[in-house]
Each structure stands twice: as structure tokens, then as C-alpha cells.
Amino acid sequence: MAINKLSTTNGAGSAIPAAGRYAAVSGGTTTSYSSGGVTYQVQTFTASGTLTVANSGLVDVLVVAGGGAGGTTDTNTVAGGGGAAGGLQFVSSTYLPAGSYTVTVGAGGSGNTVHSNCTSGGTSSLGGIVIAAGGGRGGGKVSGDSTADPSDSGGSSGGSCFTSATAGRLGSAVVGQGKNGGFGASGSGGGGGGAGAVGATSSTNIGGNGGAGLANSITGSSVTYAGGGGALGSTTNGTGGSGGGGNGGASATSGTVNTGGGGGSSWNNLTS
């Protein structure tokens, strides 16, 4: 999560009216950058904490939730769906009164060889004002069940699993925060949804790619966040979406730390 901006040339101590000035804030990790002759201060949180607003004013806020774990199954003939990216919310020039605000940074979902133990990502928020929902876990199959579990809903939704009894079911993404995952096919799972694009629907034995994330320059440089996780395919694995999505495969990879990327899926060796 990043909180921007304090202008050192038009700061809280200047003559700009209280409702139109940049806020004076602290908390997290402080960096700065210059653009157009103005220096902006950035507060970045990679763990939960407190944002202190010493003087009220305007801020830009980027909130990214934790990505979901990829799905897993109990058989080498059924592939789980890719994990979804965490929801992404960007708010420009929002007014914050002076005070302390709780910052919550959602954790990424946890993978497990038992699908029912795989989890979706955690919700991130700034004081309950800007909230991003965690990414949904990918669809999978629990031992003894004839049908696949659907992917979970979230900021983006996970990709679906496929069995002969069902083509898989998808959760729903939160409108404005992310995209849906893709459907699975025989021998492959659907890709997890990203913040900027839906996860790819797979074809027979070819895993779906994760949906692309979104680029944002709140830190002064363009960074892509919240890519969906790729899904395993029995012949070709899906790759993670830009923005930290993990790759599907027998040794699936996790979403990249602090990006909100979803995890890749595997048969029964799932990583978040």
C-alpha cells in the first residue's frame, strides 16, 4: 500500500486552504520523488501499521490486497485453477482529516496439498476508507468429491478446476477492483483473474494464463501490481499475469511478494 503525497513546495504549512492542500503524513517507509518541480513524499506499507495525518489535506492512495492461492486436487488427471490477484483500489486527491488511521495489509493466500486448506488472500484497507478485497483461491477438488469446488470470489476471482462431472464454477470479482478467472478444461485449470484482465480459459491439457495486472506510478515509477496466477496443464502450463502472478506447474510458484499477485496451481503440490 502506498500513500502519496506531501508537496515540500506547497505543503501543509503553506497558504493553500486546508481543504485543498496536500496532507502532512507519516508512517510506513518514507520515500520521495520530484516531478514538474514539485517533490512528493510517499508512505509505503508492506505490513499493517498506522498512518498519522498531522495536518489535514489531500492524498493519493493505492491499496492492493493479498493474492489468492492456486487450487489443488487429489488426482493427476484434474488440475486446479490459478489463484486470483488481490483487489486493487486507487483513489486520487482524497481528503484526509488530521488523525491516526489503521492500515491493514492483507496476507497472500496459503497453499496446501489438501484443497480445502487452501485460502484466499486477505483484505487490505486504509482506515476503512479505501478497501481492497483479497483475491479468491483457484478452484480445486477435495478427495472423495465427484465434482470440483468452485473458485472463490474476491477482488479478482480464481480460475476454475475441471472434472468429468462439472466444467467448473467461477467466483465473482469485485467490480472496479479486479477481473474474473478463466474456466478450466480437461487436464488443465483456468487462469486466475488479474486487476486489469480476466484469467485465460484453458483448453484441453493447456493451462490458462493469469490475467494481467495494472500499472501505477504512485511511487514515482511505473510498477505493475495484482497479476493473476497461471494454471497447470498436463502438457503446457499457464504463466502468471504481469504484476506478480505465479506460474502454474508441477512445481507451481507463488505470487511475487508485495504485489498482490495470485499463486500458480498444481496437481497436489500447491503454492500460494
3-state secondary structure of 116: helix
Whether residue 133 contacts residue 123, with contact meaning beta carbons closer than 8 Å, is answered with yes
Contacts of 250 (CB under 8 A, 6+ apart): 232, 266, 267, 269
* 3-class secondary structure, 224: strand
pLDDT of residue 144: 59
> What does 151-201 look like in DSSP terms, one character per residue?
PPPBSS-PPPP-BTTB------BPTTT--PPPPPBTTB-PPPP-SSSPPPP
1: pLDDT strictly greater than 60: no
Residue 21's pLDDT is what? 66
What is the per-residue pLDDT across 23-78, written as a single tens digit (0 to 9) for each?
788 999 999 998 888 888 999 999 999 999 998 888 999 999 999 999 887 666 67
3-state secondary structure of 117: helix
The model's pLDDT over 126-159, given as tens digits with 9 standing for 90+, comes to 998 999 999 998 888 765 555 556 666 776 777 6
AA letter at 29 = T
- pLDDT tens profile 190-238: 999 999 999 999 999 999 999 999 999 999 999 999 999 999 998 999 9
The confidence score (pLDDT) of residue 6 equals 40
Residue 175 sits at the vertex; the CA angle it makes with 197 and 208, to the nearest 5 degrees, is 30
Which of 272, 179, 211, 208 is CA-nearest to residue 79? Answer: 208
Q: What is the mean pLDDT of residues 231-250?
A: 94
Closest by Cα among 115, 149, 143, 127 to 263 = 115
Which tens digits make up the pLDDT trace of 80-111?
Answer: 889 999 999 999 988 899 999 999 999 999 87
DSSP 13-67: TSSS-TTTSBPEEE-SEEEEEEETTEEEEEEE-SS-EEEEEEE-EEEEEEEEPPP
- Cell representation of residue 210: 493469469
Q: CA 139 to CA 169: how far, in whole Å?
A: 8
